[in-house]
Amino acid sequence: MTKAPRALTMTIVQAIQDRRLFGGLPPFRDLSTWRVWMVLLKAAFALPMDAAELEIYRRHTGRLNPPKKPPRELWIIVGRRGGKSLMAAVIAVFLACFVPWPLGIQTGYIMVIACDRKQAQNVFGYIKQILRLPALRTLVESEGKEEIALKNGIRIAVQTSSYRGARGYQVLAAILDETSFMRSELTANPAGELITALRPSLGSMKESKLISISTGFTRSGPQWEAYRDKYGQPDPNALVWAGSTQSHNPTYDQATIAQSLKEDYAGASVEYGVDGNYFRNDLEGYLDVEALEAVIAPGRRELPPGRNMDYVAGVDPSGGRGDAMAMSIAHLEGDKVVQDAVRSWTPPFDPAACVADFAKTLREYGIRAVVGDKYSGAWCATEFERQGIEYRAAEMTKSDYYLELLPIVMRRGCELLDHKRQANEFRQLLRRTGKGKDSVDHPPAGTDDHANAATIAIVETASKNAADQAFFGIIETDIRPCDEERTVSFSSQPPYRRRF
């Protein structure tokens, strides 16, 4: 049996300075542009600092004294294009190759968890590039698509954010990349669920580490909570570090940052960490979770078509490549809008086949017209017309529909099906406030296909009912019993839109 190689004895900063090791990578040829990162790494591993480095440390942590021992948790908030993914890979390889973990006969995992598959592969590409350096390639036993096995019994694995995938491993370190943007189809806060699942695996070894590296985003989730509660606090187990793109990557084009700030200061200042803005205060959750759960009928997956029912359908179109195409059907029951059915196709798919499938369901519910996004182009209307279904372009924007849905939900004026993906899309919607009219949209890397279709169906149903009530109310009010000729008058501007 080949004896496993001993861990290399060197600090992470020395490894970056060494041209035979990390210093041999092209990005590290000019270490003057990585000065702030070097101080961050010294803080992360409790390495000595000089007076100038101590000043950088204080500026980015809000703390007076650096850690005396490596903190178990490291929360790093750095502006976009600040070098986060490369540094995540460097830290992963260093922990795998340079730290003498007391494994025994166990296999230890250094897990790098990214917000999506593309990001995970980006980090994994850096890791493979580092491990192909001449001084490190002999440590590699095997290389797979998402995992590299080393001869010392350690495996470096990359995956997307999933709390299920984090269970059942001996995790030595978990490095989360872009934590603020982690999304899931099953939960509104996958980063929180992921960290909860990771802690038991990390807790079995006292040297283990949780490292979360991300650009800031909304004031929710574990990255924000760590910044809110621990930034500037002398916690021996956790260190929060925050800095701008410019401080961490002085080579990035400053003109691009300036232009972005000019176009959208609130968003760009957080994207690039300008003026100490790391989390947005103009974004908030669209729906309160409790309010949403109150209108979901537990266990109800679908309602069959009924006789003499007036159904309404909303559709969120897609060309079959990037997004799903979703359809929702609803009807009015008393003073409440009830969702009856949800249909969707996930990409890639043939739009014509999807529309044909939707049309079959529409006919079952006796529906001859759908309302959908007017920006989808003529193809969508044409495909529905081929199936004998009229496609009516929505009169409002997506944000307008969401804003009209909000009071319906808050007064419990609707009942939603128990559809996990739809519910999660509603949970993740963000409302942007500020000057002018509020807007509602999904977060970056998020989706709202099912939520959008459901919103159109519910709002259209409620609006149709309101228009009908106004219509018949006017007739009843204006028809007076008398012997003379009766007249009926209609308001030229009824209080509700008449669509059907």
End position of a domain, from candidates 259, 281, 303: 281
* Assigned domain for 494 exists: no
Nearest to 97 by CA among 173, 150, 33, 174: 150
Task: Classify residue 147: in a domain, yes or no.
Answer: yes
Distances in Å between the Cα of 70 and the Cα atoms of 84, 248, 378 are 20, 21, 60
Give the pair of three-digit tokens for residue 81: 């294009």
pLDDT, residue 166, reads 54
Per DSSP bridges, beta strands 209-214 and 171-177 are: parallel
Structure tokens at 337: 């809008």
Kindly state whether residues 321 and 345 are assigned to the same domain: yes
Domain ends where: 254, 281, 308? 281
Q: What is d(CA 375, CA 397) in angstroms, rounded to the nearest whole number? A: 10
Rg (CA), the chain: 28
Residue 30 lies in a domain: yes
pLDDT per residue, tens digit, the chain (500 aa), is 344 445 567 899 999 999 999 999 999 989 999 999 999 999 999 999 999 999 999 999 999 999 999 999 999 999 999 999 999 999 999 999 999 888 777 788 999 988 777 888 889 999 999 999 999 999 999 999 889 999 999 999 988 765 455 555 788 999 999 888 886 444 445 787 888 888 877 767 778 899 999 999 888 889 999 999 999 999 999 999 999 999 999 999 999 999 999 988 888 999 999 999 999 887 778 888 889 999 999 999 999 999 889 999 999 999 888 889 999 999 999 999 999 999 999 999 999 999 999 999 999 999 999 999 876 667 889 999 999 999 999 989 999 999 999 999 999 999 999 999 999 899 889 888 766 678 899 887 788 999 999 999 999 999 887 655 544 444 344 444 444 433 333 333 333 333 33
Burial 280-313 (b: 16+ CB within 10 A, else e): bebbebbbeeeebeebbeeeeeebebeeeeebbb
Q: What is the CATH number of the domain that holds 448?
A: 3.30.420.240
Same domain? 362 vs 224: no
1 belongs to a structural domain: no
Which pTM does this prediction carry?
Answer: 0.69
| Separation of first and last alpha carbons in the chain | 78
**Angle at Cα 492 formed by Cα 489 and Cα 498, nearest 5°?**
105
**CA 457 to chain CA mean position, Å:** 25
Is 302 found in the same domain as 183? no
Q: Give the pLDDT score at 488.
A: 35
Task: Assess if residue 488 is contained within a domain.
Answer: no
Task: Report whether 96 contacts 89 (CB < 8 A).
Answer: no
297 and 259, same structural domain?
A: no
Q: Which of 231, 248, 281 finishes a domain?
A: 281
Enclosing domain of residue 377 = 289-467
Q: Are residues 324 and 456 in the same domain?
A: yes
Sign of CA dihedral 488, 493, 496, 500: positive
In a domain, residue 187? The reply is: yes
Shared-domain flag, residues 269 and 322: no
Confirm whether 56 is domain-assigned. Answer: yes
**Number of domains making up the chain:** 2
Question: Residue 165 is part of a domain; what is its CATH number?
Answer: 3.40.50.300
The answer to whether residues 387 and 270 belong to one domain is: no
Residues 314 and 247 in one domain: no
Same domain for 190 and 313: no
Whether residue 204 is found in the same domain as residue 273: yes
- Closest CA relative to residue 244, chosen from 81, 28, 89, 119: 81
Q: What is the pLDDT of residue 160?
A: 74
**How far out from the chain centre does Cα 48 lie?**
37
Q: Is residue 277 part of a domain?
A: yes
Q: Do 197 and 297 fall into the same domain? A: no
| Same-domain status, 374 and 232 | no
